[in-house]
Amino acid sequence: MLNVAPEQDILNPPAPSVGVEQAEAALVEHYPRLVRLAYLVLPPSLGRNRRVLTAHAIVQRSLPRGRGGPGDGAEEGLIPGARRPGAGVDPGYVYVRRRVVRQALEAGLPLRRRAWPKRAQLPPLLPQVWGLRLFPRSGGADELALDQRLSALSGPARAAYVLRGLERLSDDAVGAELTAAGVGDARRALVEAGEHESRSALLESAEFDPCSLQARPTDLMRRRQHGRAALAAVAALVVCGALIGLPGDGWGPDGAAAPSYAQNPAAQAALDPAHLLRVEPTAWTTATRSDFSVWPARGDLLGDSGLLRRALAVWARPGPSVQVSATPGTPAGPPMGAPQLLFAGDVDRARVVLLYDGLRVARYAEPHEGTAGAALDFARVDAADLASAGALVVGRTDGNVRYLTAPWVREASVRDLLTPGAAARPLHRDTYGVTDPVVSPTQARQCTSWDALELHDDSGVRLVTDLGELAPARLTWGPPSDPRDVGDRSAREGWARTACLLPTVRSHGVRSVNDWQFAQQALPENNGTAGWICTRAETWRGAGSRVFAQFQAPSERLAPGAIAARAENSASCGSREARVLAGVLWKSRGGNWFVLAAGSPQVSSVTLSGGMSGTEKGNLLAVRAKEGARAELNGRLADGSPISTLR
């Protein structure tokens, strides 16, 4: 199903020329959008890492050479303007966009023996990244399906699809852009692209954002065989030998930590394992607070002072070989004083230490042999309570995750969110509260199951899930004013159709995710009843919430809902602004198209405009439409104030 998108301006006559400075300003202002455009047009066969670097290189090469003043000629000061720039559209942006599309199409051409290769067909000189692979954050099932469909299109058809869906250009304007980019048969490309029009609204998702990236190492085994690695190892030995000869403890006891930068008493106290705070095992039973501050110290390596010292030293000054990660908004600096010890023990093939300083949880992990490959992870957990301090991730191995549960958790179990009718499976915990491995759904390419953790304590049963961070996110159901735990069948069925959309909010510092069914709508032509769900992910830092509205058509298999609209840093569907309006273009079983819209109960009327018209009293609207129709939705609240769609 397509999201209803706002109308775009119709193309207008051109400006005669564009200044180089104007084109440069347009490139800088619209750089993320131009890089996304290049990334989508580039052939997926290049691989995600090379597509990212090539997209950035293409945009950065899209200005003409020279920087003369106006009147110095097209190459120096003035460049040809777009023949048909849109009304209100910067001609400089149109010019740069055209050069980006041309180069992206050239990059997809096969190399020929007798033809000199074009610059875009070669690997980019700049930017370059050594030792890392960069790729956009993974999206949900819809984004994956769209990426697979785009890979089946030809280069010109992919460009037509992106220009139409991302830039909101008309078919005539798309044809003109393709012709200007050197496409011989623009009409054929438009026809091929039109077969996949129904998913164009997903082009703005994080799956296709080459400016918001994740990093992973390259082939580490191959890199070890290179001579440079040997030279670096020799240099490291020389440095270590020099440090051992220095006064004090030197490098050895601190493992993978960088050299000391301060010797003041406060800093030294924070690095001393003897000063670690250790809570008594029964302290939580009488404390007025129920958060991480009352977790007792647990694990079979609590007495390993060498391990604890290395963990504290690496936290204070991680060396270059340490892999450090932190959730958004979480500082990665050293603790202000001696932190609290939560756990120290063997977990799978690593030694793990969990520490807490009142604001953050830090997880230090090192292999059983040596300290090479040590990792340090941070997560912000301030203002935790009984509901959000029920578990922490203590280990990840081979796609599985182990949790350390709170001392007040009496029982743990695993529930597959995609099978709401099935019973939860019991989950064994050892004497320290560490669970057996649970399959982590965050890295799965196919959403065939979604295992969440059920925590039972004296106050109830809570459902949490792994979103790729130290603190699992709590799942709730209900209106923003009174969200409740996922306990009944209706809540589980709602989450069964939301679970596969959770990758859109992972690795974002999420504290809780709430599903709220804000409307139900009887579909035209007796097609059953659809549900409208608003999903809101709250973060530990308060800002950066992510919200998306779902349209859940009737489905016997409980298929994932279609995202109708999404927003970031929005108060919609939250306790401060418990209202929302969204719409979709929907096709009935009889083959007829309709614009459907729904608002929360406060919405008293819904209006359709911009190429289509229609008004309904109440919070629901259904208007007959044509395939590919676009319109703008607006509404009025009961007090007369306006409300627009979620964006």
Report pLDDT digits (tens) over 309-350.
999 999 998 998 999 999 999 998 888 889 999 999 999 989
Residues 79 and 135 in one domain: yes
Three-state secondary-structure class, residue 366 = strand
Q: Please compute the mean of the pLDDT values over residues 59-72 and round it to a whole number.
A: 59
Q: What's the number of domains the chain is made of? A: 3
Query: How many CB atoms are closer than 10 A to CB 202?
Result: 22
Residues 209 and 308 in one domain: no
Same domain, 336 and 429: no
Question: 404 with 498, same domain?
Answer: yes
Do 379 and 402 share a structural domain? Answer: no
C-alpha separations of 441 from 102, 214, 438, 449, 502 in Å: 39, 18, 9, 7, 10
Q: Residue 103 and residue 80: Cα distance in Å, rounded?
A: 17
pLDDT above 70 for 411: yes
Position 233 in a domain: no
What type of residue sits at position 547?
Answer: V
Segments forming the whole domain that contains residue 274: 249-384
β strands within 368-426, DSSP E: 375-380, 391-397, 400-405, 411-416, 425-426
> Per the domain annotation, does 35 fall within a domain?
yes
Angle between helices 155-165 and 186-194 (to 10 degrees): 70
CA distance 329 to 333: 12
Are residues 297 and 153 part of one domain? no
Q: What is the pLDDT of residues 485-529, one digit of tens each?
A: 998 899 999 999 999 999 999 989 999 999 999 999 999 999 999
| pLDDT at residue number 623 | 95
> CA angle, 521 as apex, 516 and 527 as ends, to 5°?
130
Q: For position 12, what pLDDT does the model report?
A: 35
Q: What is the mean pLDDT of residues 41-52?
A: 84
Task: Tell me: do 135 and 268 sit in the same domain.
Answer: no
pLDDT tens by residue, 442-484 = 877 789 999 999 999 999 999 999 999 999 999 999 999 999 9
Separation of alpha carbons 582 and 535, rounded Å? 12
**Tens-place pLDDT, residues 240-288:** 555 454 444 444 467 777 665 555 666 677 789 999 999 999 999 999 9
| Same domain (yes/no): 439, 369 | no
CA distance 560 to 533: 11
Q: Domain check: are 76 and 183 in the same one?
A: yes
Predicted TM-score (pTM) above 0.75: no
Q: How confident is the model at residue 85 (pLDDT cuts 50, 70, 90)?
A: very low
pLDDT digits (tens, 9 = 90+) for 603-628: 999 999 988 899 999 999 999 999 98
Same-domain check for residues 10 and 128 = yes
Does residue 372 have a pLDDT over 90? no
Of the candidates 223, 56, 208, the one whose C-alpha atom is nearest the C-alpha of residue 130 is 223
**Rounded to whole angstroms, how far apart are CA atoms 177 and 583?**
30
Whether 92 and 26 have beta carbons less than 8 Å apart is answered as yes
Reading the block at residue 333, the tokens are: 């600096």
Preceding amide of 328 cis, omega within 30: no
Residues 210 and 359 in one domain: no
In a domain, 116, yes or no: yes
Both 7 and 49 in a single domain?
yes
Conformational region of residue 278, where left means phi above 0, alpha means psi within -120 to 50, and beta covers everything else: beta
Q: Do the Cβ atoms of 23 and 85 come closer than 8 Å? A: no
The whole-chain average pLDDT of the chain stands at 84
Element containing residue 514 per DSSP (H, E): strand 510-522
pLDDT tens per residue, range 138-172: 767 777 778 788 888 888 888 888 898 888 888 88
Evaluate whether residue 255 is within a structural domain: yes
Question: Which of 133-142, 183-192, 289-298, 582-591 is predicted with the least confidence, judged by mean pLDDT?
Answer: 133-142
Report the alpha-carbon distance of residue 204 to residue 155 in Å, rounded.
Answer: 19
Within 100-224, strands assigned E span 132-136, 213-217
CA 352, 354, 360 angle in degrees (round to 5)? 145
- Which has more confidence, 189 or 521? 521
